[in-house]
């Protein structure tokens, strides 16, 4: 039986090693057949504008992981949604609320 996991990444991978571990956990869970959403918030959205790390996020999306960047966090950091790769969805915190209401298991990094 598979579960839905919501992983919330609030830190950037440039200064926090744990963020990469969060990406690895998302990949592992998806590989085990679970439905996974990776929600980027606060400084967690910074890699959404970088081609280097954004490719890591695109790879996660290609592995059937829903990668979502918080619109407010993007705006606060001067990142236009048009600069975010197509593999990364831009959305509001409603994604988190909907996941909680549907019984998703939430892990906050």
Are 36 and 26 a contacting pair, CB within 8 Å?
yes
pLDDT over 80 at 10, yes or no: yes
Domains and CATH numbers, the chain: 4-108 (3.40.1260.10)
> How much is the pLDDT for 106?
93
Helices in 2-93 by DSSP H: which ranges?
17-31, 51-62, 71-76
Are 81 and 90 a contacting pair, CB within 8 Å?
yes
Distance CA 109, CA 13 (A): 11
Answer whether 0.85 is exceeded by the pTM. yes
Q: pLDDT of 13-64, one tens digit each?
A: 889 999 999 999 999 999 999 999 999 999 999 998 866 667 889 899 999 9
Are 73 and 40 a contacting pair, CB within 8 Å?
yes
């Amino acid at each position: 039986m598979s579960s839905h996991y919501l992983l919330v990444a609030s830190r950037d991978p440039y200064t926090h090693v744990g963020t990469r571990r969060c990406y690895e956990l998302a990949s592992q869970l998806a590989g085990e057949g679970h439905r996974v959403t990776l929600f980027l918030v606060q400084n967690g959205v910074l890699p959404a504008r970088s081609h280097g790390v954004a490719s890591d996020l695109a790879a996660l999306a290609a592995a059937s992981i829903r990668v979502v960047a918080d619109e407010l966090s993007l705006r606060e950091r001067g990142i236009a949604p048009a600069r975010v790769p197509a593999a990364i969805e831009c959305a509001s915190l409603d994604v988190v609320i909907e996941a909680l209401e549907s019984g998703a298991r939430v892990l906050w990094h």
